[in-house]
Amino acid sequence: MTLTDPTTENPTLHDRLLAGDRIFAETGNYAGIDTLELREDDPIKYESLHVKLRSIVVNARDMARRISASPGVREVGESVVALFTPEGDAIALSTGIMVHVHTASRFIKWMIQNDYEESPGIRHGDIFANNDAFIGTVQAPDVIDVTPIFHEGELIGWVAAVCHELEVGGITPGGDVALAQERYTEGLFVCAEKVGENDELRRDYLIRLERNLRMPIYWVLDEKAKVAACLEVRDQVLDLVDQVGVDYYKQATKEFIEEGRRGQLSRMRQLTVPGRYRGHTFFGHVTEGKNGVLPLGNKNWLYAIPMEMEVSAEGKLSIDFDGTNSWGYHSMNCTPAGMDGGMFVTLTQHMNYDGKVNDGAWLATELNLPSGTWTNPERETVATATSWALLLPAYGVFQRMLSRGFLARGFKEEVFVGQVNSPMIEMGGESQYGGQFGIALFECAAAGSGALGIKDGLDTSYVGWNPESDMGNMEVWEQDMPMVYLGRSISPNSGGFGRYRGGCGFESLWLVNNSSQLIAATSEHSSRVFDNAGMCGGYPAPTVQLHHSTHEAGIPERAAERKPLPHSLGSDPHESDLAKFADGTTHVEEGPYLATPLRHGDLFAHSYNGGGGYGDPLERDPGAVARDVANGYVTADVAAAVTGVVIEGTEVDEEATRSRREGIVRSRRENSVPVSEWIKQQSQRIRRKDLAPEVAEMYRDSMSLSRRFAAEFREFWQLPDDFSFEARPAR
Amino acid sequence: MTSYDTHAIGDLIDGTLPWPATKQMMSGYKDDTRFETYLEVLQQRVAWPEQILLPIGEHLYIVKGAEGRVVKCDCGHEFGDYRENWKLQARIRVRDDQESIEEIYPGRYACDASWMELREFLCPGCLTLLEVEAAPPGFPVVFDFLPDIEAFYQDWLGRPVP
């Protein structure tokens, strides 16, 4: 049976939203549905409707990609389309950047909660847009459009379409505004605004876009693509409603969500083990003293992201971020909407890939986002422009914790070491055509993945936020930026070592072309620490930390003289090919941006991360190492040092491999101590507070935010109850 | 109903199941008998008699020991009560200087030893590398997994804990 709210005769949307929340709280079931009546009565009709709705949103997204001229959407697929209930709960979603399905849900609910029904009104043909993360999105470039679906005057749902914009007009160019430190530097905000009526975008909205963006064509054309997708879905859904009847449609879509909720719970029980899982990762942000940094951002941050996952006997999944650090004056803060989105897209990949993918899965989960931390700043002026920087590593931890459960149950084919950050280049300045430009170079959407429990990770073809990862064609990117490729290559040794290797990342090398000023920043770029991990004896991947550029590289002259040219950073980890094969001075710098603009004739190289490894590297098949060396995924010297496999030419030297592996085991014995002994030694170091200032500050901050963290820290190192770290002096 | 025999699950564990069969396993409905088949294969492969209750990592199992449930490596080394972090009973090699970090991550691939160290947890019995933690100096060792064995067996599998 279905419960209805008895307190109102003609409920507003706001009433219905409140009643829905109350009914869920009281019954534990979506819309109070305790039996899936339509599914039981006629499963074929029920499933047919779901398949058709899913097909509609998938096709609409594909159509929108053909309309958009933005390479982010057309080449890389940075878009998603989804269908929602009147209360804003997702029913069906397309492939693509599924992270935004639940963020769009928050956007719709926000409009309802703020009485948009009264003002500005919700009518057939209206178009609403939002890119405010505190209302409902992840970051400013994720611009969501929604349109209502009315049937004979009654609102029966919403369609949302999302595109990731490549330029948002912030303090630094691009979409993920790497140097934003407060909301006021993040670029153009559209805050749950009615931007169109009668199925048309308002002219004054388009004028605002044209006058406030460095490269308005991307956002404007993506708007047209999104509106086309929304209208296509709306009209096709209305045709379907005419076929099945509006009452059937309304009831069936509620049952889809309740079925999705039950599916999530049963999938947890099927694939994992109840209990407590823990993991952590870290992220370094280095800007102290760097040229160009704004005063509030003139410091270094080291972020701890400890996570605990609880799986209850019922199968409910709860994730707790207790112990993580404060928000800061940088662009990496996140909102609860973004945190929801990260969990949602991870669940769609691991738990809900073959059933009812909708908001039901989200209803079967719980997040604890401690107030005042980067996960939940509770201060709507903070910047969230590069929230992926911390969000992606966090949900990589989530993937490893889930995988521990899969491993325990024997579903080794599902064990996955997880996603990694893939630092994106944001650039702008003078284009090769003479005007101003700005773009996010989205070739980053093809990092290496973590290893699986049964095989190596994917090389240059996975990112967590978009399971349809694609780096795009070089020739297309060259049309949109004043740089031409000298090479795009797999980065050797970029995957974490293990019995199964993490997938490798890749690197690009460009020659700046016909521009007097090219500003480059990289978002999601950890410094000094790896922001991923290995699993079951596998090593983390080596996070990309450094920028390489060469001023006045003399490439045309070297080419004319038939001198060797650089095409990548090269396989020598101590000296890059830029330094070896270019004229001029090569600069290597850390931090999320280049402090000096580039110009015509300069070189710039950038790398994307690989994934973590799985299992003891000494168990790696020597033949696999030989293939890796032959194909450039690892170098022979590092392979020998870590896996013990000795390659001569293209063949495994079996005798030398046996000897090298025995030597590594001996080295393990000679260089290791019992953990209890190490704890005693380290405890003295902690008492002396003999730590880098950023490390000590990270602990001080975590201990001040979390009593549990503080208690566990003191207990682990056997410290007195009043032990604490002093705050760093204010600058 | 989907099910796989011990040969298929053994090959899956070894990473030798042919890719088409693995892909089918990934994309198809999951088999309800997986856990039992998995335990059967793992139990056949160890040289000791204690009953495996739950695998918790490569080479590591919670087993029914003479004095309660303990964590055991497949070489036979025991780490003690499963409710305590097995890592605290392991051997550890810590790479906390640039030289030792660069053995794994040479040159530009290295992390900064003052910000992050690598902790290699080794089995005292066979010196297998069981887990690697990458953490800033001073971060407490993580207790990866504390299963609720009672709820798992009784509520999820519908049978008493052995």
A533 and A642 assigned to the same domain: no
A649 found inside a domain: yes
* Residue in chain B lying closest to A710 (CA): B140
* CB-CB neighbors (< 8 A) of A278 in chain B: 142-145
> E strand or H helix at A484, and its extent?
strand A483-490
Min Cα–Cα distance to chain A from B151, Å: 6
CB proximity A720 to B under 8 Å: no
A103 and A123 assigned to the same domain: yes
A602 found inside a domain: yes
**Testing the interface with B: which of A311, A454, A578, A703 to mutate, by most B Cβ within 10 A?**
A454
Going by C-alpha positions, the residue among A455, A446, A543, A545 that lies closest to residue A498 is A455
- Verify whether the Cβ–Cβ distance B148 to A277 is below 8 Å: no
- Verify whether the Cβ–Cβ distance B138 to A528 is below 8 Å: no
A104-128 burial, b for 16+ CB within 10 Å, e for fewer? bbbbbbbbbeeebeeeeebeeebbb
* CB-CB neighbors (< 8 A) of A304 in chain B: 136, 139
Min Cα–Cα distance to chain A from B100, Å: 10
* Residue in chain A lying closest to B156 (CA): A269
CB pairs under 8 A between A and B: 230
What type of residue is B147? P
Going by C-alpha positions, the residue among A82, A264, A253 that lies closest to residue A162 is A82
- Verify whether the Cβ–Cβ distance A414 to B26 is below 8 Å: yes
A491 and A606 assigned to the same domain: yes
* CB-CB neighbors (< 8 A) of B155 in chain A: 274, 313
Q: Out of A499, A672, A717, name the one closest to residue B93 (CB).
A: A672
* Residue ranges for chain A with pLDDT beneath 50: 1-7
CA dihedral for A109, A114, A117, A121, sign (positive or negative): negative
Give the orientation angle of helix A707-716 with respect to helix A693-705, to 10 degrees.
120
- State the Cα–Cα distance between residues B114 and B97, nearest whole angstrom: 8
CB proximity A586 to B under 8 Å: no
- Verify whether the Cβ–Cβ distance B140 to A409 is below 8 Å: no
**Testing the interface with A: which of B1, B111, B157 to mutate, by most A Cβ within 10 A?**
B111
Tell the residue number behind the tokens 């693995």, with chain if given.
B22
- State the Cα–Cα distance between residues B145 and B85, nearest whole angstrom: 8
Burial of A33 (0-12, 13-18, 19+ CB in 10 A): buried
CB proximity A452 to B under 8 Å: no
* Residue in chain A lying closest to B28 (CA): A354
CB proximity A74 to B under 8 Å: no
Query: Distance between the two ends of chain B, CA-based, in angstroms?
Result: 26
- Verify whether the Cβ–Cβ distance B136 to A274 is below 8 Å: no
A88 found inside a domain: yes
* CB-CB neighbors (< 8 A) of B127 in chain A: 665, 668-669, 672
* CB-CB neighbors (< 8 A) of A408 in chain B: 54-56, 145, 147
Task: Count CB neighbours of B14 within 10 A.
Answer: 12
- Verify whether the Cβ–Cβ distance B87 to A675 is below 8 Å: yes
pLDDT at B150: 97
pLDDT at A5: 43
CB proximity A546 to B under 8 Å: yes
* CB-CB neighbors (< 8 A) of B112 in chain A: 284, 528-529
**Testing the interface with A: which of B6, B30, B100 to mutate, by most A Cβ within 10 A?**
B30
- State the Cα–Cα distance between residues A33 and A26, nearest whole angstrom: 12
pLDDT at A469: 85
A112 found inside a domain: yes
A650 and A539 assigned to the same domain: no
Strand partners, B61: B55, B72
Structural domain ending residue among the three candidates A615, A634, A662: A615
A180 and A137 assigned to the same domain: yes
A726 found inside a domain: no
CB proximity A537 to B under 8 Å: yes
pLDDT at A4: 42
- Verify whether the Cβ–Cβ distance A674 to B148 is below 8 Å: no
The number of residues in chain B equals: 162
- Verify whether the Cβ–Cβ distance B108 to A545 is below 8 Å: yes
A63 found inside a domain: yes
**Testing the interface with A: which of B112, B117, B123, B149 to mutate, by most A Cβ within 10 A?**
B112
CA distances in angstroms from A278 to A516, A566, A700, B2, B59, listed in the order given: 50, 44, 21, 32, 19
Strand partners, B80: B71
Which residues between 514 and 533 in chain A have a beta carbon less than 8 angstroms from any beta carbon of chain B? 528-530, 533
Q: What angle do CA B61, B63, B68 make, to 5 degrees?
A: 135
* CB-CB neighbors (< 8 A) of A643 in chain B: none
Which residues between 297 and 326 in chain A have a beta carbon less than 8 angstroms from any beta carbon of chain B? 302, 304, 306, 313
Min Cα–Cα distance to chain A from B162, Å: 16
A566 and A637 assigned to the same domain: no
* Residue in chain B lying closest to A278 (CA): B144
Residues A193 and A201: beta-carbon distance below 8 Å: no
Structural domain ending residue among the three candidates A615, A641, A660: A615
pLDDT at A448: 97
A574 and A446 assigned to the same domain: yes
- State the Cα–Cα distance between residues A390 and A307, nearest whole angstrom: 12
A90 and A173 assigned to the same domain: yes
A659 and A680 assigned to the same domain: no
- State the Cα–Cα distance between residues A727 and A696, nearest whole angstrom: 9
* CB-CB neighbors (< 8 A) of B88 in chain A: 675-676, 679
CB proximity A615 to B under 8 Å: yes
CB proximity A601 to B under 8 Å: no
- State the Cα–Cα distance between residues B143 and B57, nearest whole angstrom: 13
**pLDDT tens across B7-46, in order?**
999 999 999 999 999 999 998 889 999 999 999 999 999 9
A685 found inside a domain: yes
A194 and A233 assigned to the same domain: yes
* CB-CB neighbors (< 8 A) of A274 in chain B: 147-148, 151-152, 155-156
Q: Out of B15, B35, B111, name the one closest to residue A410 (CB).
A: B35
A698 and A609 assigned to the same domain: no
Residue A111 is given by DSSP the state: H
- Verify whether the Cβ–Cβ distance B109 to A493 is below 8 Å: yes
pLDDT at A7: 47
* CB-CB neighbors (< 8 A) of B37 in chain A: 410
Give the orientation angle of helix B34-45 with respect to helix B6-14, to 10 degrees.
70
- Verify whether the Cβ–Cβ distance B116 to A685 is below 8 Å: no
Q: Out of B127, B131, B142, name the one closest to residue A536 (CB).
A: B131
- State the Cα–Cα distance between residues A103 and A378, nearest whole angstrom: 17
* CB-CB neighbors (< 8 A) of B122 in chain A: 668, 672
Q: Which domain holds residue A655?
A: 619-671
Residues A595 and A589: beta-carbon distance below 8 Å: yes
CB proximity A668 to B under 8 Å: yes
The ipTM estimated for the assembled molecules is 0.98
Structural domain ending residue among the three candidates A255, A282, A315: A255
Structural domain count, chain A: 4
- Verify whether the Cβ–Cβ distance A574 to B87 is below 8 Å: no
* Residue ranges for chain B with pLDDT beneath 50: none
- State the Cα–Cα distance between residues A682 and A680, nearest whole angstrom: 6
pLDDT at A3: 39
What type of residue is A517? Q
- Verify whether the Cβ–Cβ distance B131 to A695 is below 8 Å: no
A18 found inside a domain: no
- State the Cα–Cα distance between residues B48 and A427, nearest whole angstrom: 61
A559 and A642 assigned to the same domain: no
- Verify whether the Cβ–Cβ distance B148 to A274 is below 8 Å: yes
Q: What angle do CA A5, A6, A11 make, to 5 degrees?
A: 65
- State the Cα–Cα distance between residues A633 and A613, nearest whole angstrom: 13
- Verify whether the Cβ–Cβ distance B152 to A278 is below 8 Å: no
